Structure 1
Amino acid sequence: MTQKNDAPVLAIALLLTLGLLGGGGWWLYRAFNLEVSPRDAATTVSSSPSASSSPASPLGSSNLPVLSQGEAILFPDGASVGKQQGVAAIASGDYSTAVSVLQASLQQTRNDPEALIYLNNAQIANQSAYTIAVVVPSPAAIDVAEELLRGVAHGQRDINLAGGIKGTPLRVAIATDNNDSEQARTIAQTLSDTPGIVGVIGHFSSDASLAAAEVYQAEDMVMISPTSTSVALAGAGDFIFRTVQSDRIAGDGLARHLLDSIGVTNVAVFHNSESAYSQSLKDAFSSAVLTGGGRVVSEIDLAAADFDAVQSVTQVIQQGAEALMLAANTSTRNQAVAVIQANQGQLALLGGDGLYNAGTLEQGQANAVDMVVGVAWHRDGVSAALFPKEAQSLWGGPVSWRTAMAYDAVQALIEAIRTTAQPADTLTAPMVQQALNNPNFAATGAAELVQFLPSGDRSLPPQLVMIAADPASQLGYTFVPVP
């Protein structure tokens, strides 16, 4: 695959993609407010990283830009006049005006990551630059998309303010896939065919990432997912990486906590049979429990048409369960919360990162206290880490683990590009891949070093958090790291 640093070609790729996708109207998004509100916990710990969301619209139904480095707005709802003017200026090549109006826009709406990425790009103007892309699940999951973009924008801003990668700035293209597997394949092919792009951050769900990974691997394009946890992704190829831990690591961590810290051996597992993420976590956890001498007394499908939370909890207690493991994804989160409520504190509770969100706190209340959840990152997990404070200062509020993992993906690509010592006009994705696959590779992340195993999985221990009462929290409950 030939690689050239030819930024204008991104605009051509945009037009080509529009021609492929066809059909009417902009996708809309809901503005994401990071300021403190009754839903503040949702800002920092919302939906599952590997949950498969139903697409908001078919692939061919929107005449919407799906790829932009600043010449088009991908999140138009609520876009300020300044942001619109900035994008128009970029499209016309008037970068000085774009910088001015985008800076003004960010003064009004500081938590707009799309605007910051376009500002960073406008400041590069026509200079030679390294180019990477990020794929987000808009419009199916707007809040998640912006969480991911915040991590990318933060990393891009930092490296460019520091003078770039050995003097060369970093340009970012934003793409959307609606969290849909077919759209993920289409945009993966578009990005792989776009000269100049040497790495892609994405995709969101495990289903989308697994679909896109087939294309990236075939086209020798680097992909780093910040959120896809399915164990199957480890076998997708040597161009495929992730900064989030795999379900195997999360499953092992939760199983060890069950057997060693809680001290029980019999567990019932609730899962979604239709979700790659949920199935992956279920299998990893169950395998670790069995290996450790425990027993899975029952597996309950949260997605079953006749699912009944009260009846299911009663059933597994009769079967000898001492704990409940909830491997729920976005679409079965409500059923999982119903299980928490039906349990009423009788059995110990464990959960996957699909329950690392405000809804669990708000709806579970006292019934959810002491529930242990396996997650990728918590802002208090590493006390010496500077990233949480820096991110809060930049965006005006606390950020989520998705933002942290996206930031780590940017740092990995930056370090890999630096390691190649290649100028932008000769750098290729295979060169970046070789750097990432080096056993000695390491990049400084939000809290921990970013290092990869030969499988492309991240070498990082699990982070467990638990739900605790917190009178100072607006919800009355919060997630805290397990000691």
Structure 2
Amino acid sequence: MSQKNEMPALVLALLLTVGVLGAGFWWLMPKAGIKLGSQLTTQENTSVDDRISQGERSLVQAESKADNPVFVQAKQAGIQAMAAKQYGEATAQFQLALQSARNAPETAIYLNNAYIGTKRSHTIAVAVPIGSDPNGSLEILRGVAQAQLEFNTIRQAIPLKVVITNDDNNPNTAQQIANTLVEMPDVLGVIGHYASDVTLAAGNVYNAGGLVSISPISSTVKLSGFGKYIFRTVPSDYVAARALADYAIKRLQQKKAVVFFNSQSAYSQSLKAEFVTAIALSGGQVSAEFDLSAPNFSAAQAVNQALKQEAQLLMLAANTGTLDQALQVVQINQRRLSLVGGDDVYAPKTLEVGGRQAEGMVLAVPWHIDGNLKSAFPRQSRQLWGGDVNWRTATAYDATKALAVAIARNPTRSGVQQALTAPDFAAAGASEPVRFLPSGDRSVGIQLVKVAPGKRFGSGIDFVPLAW
């Protein structure tokens, strides 16, 4: 590595180490009332029973350790009341907790469950990676809680109870949880899982057990047609890759690209492969591929090689675990080559660490809060949580709404599957109706966003919806 490139890399490493710890709840503003602590560690020896809760235990440590004594005490009292089946007391305590800090989706779900008490209800589960990705888990839980609240306020509807599970984004743990949920006869559907690898592992169990699962996150093309009980509300990597390739070829007039990906991630490999194919079909080519997870990966060497090969475009198919390496590429590139990327690059860290070097980068994401100005969901979510939400909240909301509508049609496991695949099925979503193709994929497009000047995050740049 040349001395010229060493200094930016060293500075960036320092920023990645200490500069992003205050990101908090991603899109939500500090006024929401709860501060997220340090990243939790996975606990593979935790029993499955301890990973499942309808309100009798707290799974989200970020809420339990919030810097708000009133909230913490009230939530704990509510949990104790739920464990004792004292639903009136639990309701009062959870209400008190949310009055003190409304941005607490686990508590909101427990409050919704406490309202139901012993009344007749239908049950769904949500699987989130609390131990490995607390931010992502909270984003999903917000969408589930909001949809549950909306559905349960419909007087004609039988209310929806939600079971929260923590799979730590671990395939083995996810399979154990899936087996447990299959054995719980009251559970009529599952929202989850998170990473594509984990969803594929759990999906085998759900298909065998005849239990519908709708992932709001997993985008790998391997999930298309994976089984008749597997659905998703996020577009597949096929859709995202073709949108990015189309933009590069038609708008940027750039046909020669290099790709950065993680060989250990099913999502990253899927997005990379689809992009390579899409570029080739459009008359372009990918001249080199760089594995962000390789022990000897060097952002400086990779960018220099791309320049020597006269590449015009850098495509970042990074997953969350290799976002830091991708941001090293952004910094070292110094805006010399155009940048495009997938939805895992769509994070406040990209704006904070990438800074002005990220300006002009175009990302393919499932949803943006300003993508459909006619939708009521952004306003309602801001009122509920006290700040902006991101795409994971929207797609989790859509998945929950779809399950709720399907259950209302036919409240059996096979009935839910049949309802979701019916030609006339539709559920109101965050921006557009939720409908599914025979493959289990959602019939929906992709949103392109561009890093451009903006004030929403205080960093001077923002993700702005791109119309083209």
Name 2:29's counterpart in structure 1: 36
Q: CA deviation at 1:470?
A: 2.2
Name 1:8's counterpart in structure 2: none
Q: CA deviation at 1:90?
A: 1.5
AA of the residue aligned to 2:400? V
Distance in 1 of aligned mates of 2:447 and 2:215: 18
Name 2:101's counterpart in structure 1: 109
**Structure 2 residue corresponding to 1:373, chosen from 363, 376, 380:** 363
Contact 1:39 1:358 in 2 (8 A): no
**Structure 1 residue corresponding to 2:409, chosen from 394, 416, 419:** 419
AA of the residue aligned to 1:466? K
Aligned positions of 1:390-429 closer than 5 A: 390-420=380-410, 427-429=411-413
Name 1:68's counterpart in structure 2: 53
SS at match of 2:50: coil
Name 1:141's counterpart in structure 2: 133
Answer yes or no: is 1:433 the counterpart of 2:417. yes
Q: Deviations over 1:236-284 (max 9, x none)?
A: 2010000011111101110110111111111111111111110000011
Give the CA RMSD over aligned residues. Answer: 2.2
**Structure 2 residue corresponding to 1:446, chosen from 410, 430, 434:** 430
Distance in 2 of aligned mates of 1:39 and 1:231: 36
Contact 1:231 1:246 in 2 (8 A): yes
AA of the residue aligned to 1:66? R
AA of the residue aligned to 2:154? A
Aligned positions of 1:3-402 closer than 5 A: 32=25, 36-37=29-30, 56-61=41-46, 65-76=50-61, 77-78=64-65, 80-163=72-155, 166-402=156-392
Q: CA deviation at 1:64?
A: 7.1
Distance in 2 of aligned mates of 1:124 and 1:442: 26
Distance in 1 of aligned mates of 2:182 and 2:49: 20
Name 2:19's counterpart in structure 1: none
Q: CA deviation at 1:320?
A: 2.4
Q: Compared with structure 1, are the counterparts of its residues 193 and 282 closer, same or farther at alpha carbon in structure 2 (3 Å cutoff)?
A: same
AA of the residue aligned to 2:353? Q
Structure 2 regions of 5+ residues with no counterpart?
1-22, 67-71
Name 1:50's counterpart in structure 2: none
Name 1:467's counterpart in structure 2: 451
Q: CA deviation at 1:440?
A: 2.0
AA of the residue aligned to 1:153? A
Contact 1:82 1:104 in 2 (8 A): yes
Distance in 2 of aligned mates of 1:155 and 1:130: 14
Distance in 1 of aligned mates of 2:348 and 2:373: 23
Q: CA deviation at 1:95?
A: 1.0
Q: CA deviation at 1:57?
A: 3.2
Q: CA deviation at 1:133?
A: 0.6
Contact 1:34 1:111 in 2 (8 A): no
Distance in 1 of aligned mates of 2:247 and 2:325: 24
Contact 2:48 2:176 in 1 (8 A): no
SS at match of 2:224: helix
AA of the residue aligned to 1:442? A
Distance in 2 of aligned mates of 1:148 and 1:312: 35
Q: Compared with structure 1, are the counterparts of its residues 250 and 83 closer, same or farther at alpha carbon in structure 2 (3 Å cutoff)?
A: same
SS at match of 1:413: helix
SS at match of 2:45: helix
Q: CA deviation at 1:153?
A: 0.6
Aligned length: 435
Q: Compared with structure 1, are the counterparts of its residues 61 and 188 closer, same or farther at alpha carbon in structure 2 (3 Å cutoff)?
A: closer
SS at match of 2:296: coil
SS at match of 1:326: strand
Q: CA deviation at 1:418?
A: 2.2
Distance in 2 of aligned mates of 1:86 and 1:362: 37
Contact 2:28 2:389 in 1 (8 A): no
Q: Deviations over 1:139-185 (max 9, x none)?
A: 1111111111111010111111122xx43111111111011000000
Distance in 2 of aligned mates of 1:340 and 1:31: 23
Name 1:3's counterpart in structure 2: none
Structure 1 regions of 5+ residues with no counterpart?
1-29, 44-52, 421-426
Contact 1:229 1:247 in 2 (8 A): yes
Q: CA deviation at 1:400?
A: 1.3
Name 2:461's counterpart in structure 1: 477
Over the matched positions of the two proteins, sequence identity in percent amounts to: 45
Q: Compared with structure 1, are the counterparts of its residues 298 and 190 closer, same or farther at alpha carbon in structure 2 (3 Å cutoff)?
A: same
Distance in 2 of aligned mates of 1:263 and 1:137: 40
Contact 2:44 2:173 in 1 (8 A): yes
Distance in 2 of aligned mates of 1:442 and 1:87: 36
Distance in 1 of aligned mates of 2:461 and 2:333: 18
Distance in 1 of aligned mates of 2:321 and 2:466: 27
SS at match of 2:207: helix
Contact 2:43 2:131 in 1 (8 A): no
Contact 1:34 1:396 in 2 (8 A): no
Q: CA deviation at 1:309?
A: 1.1
Q: Compared with structure 1, are the counterparts of its residues 95 and 277 closer, same or farther at alpha carbon in structure 2 (3 Å cutoff)?
A: same
Distance in 2 of aligned mates of 1:71 and 1:319: 59
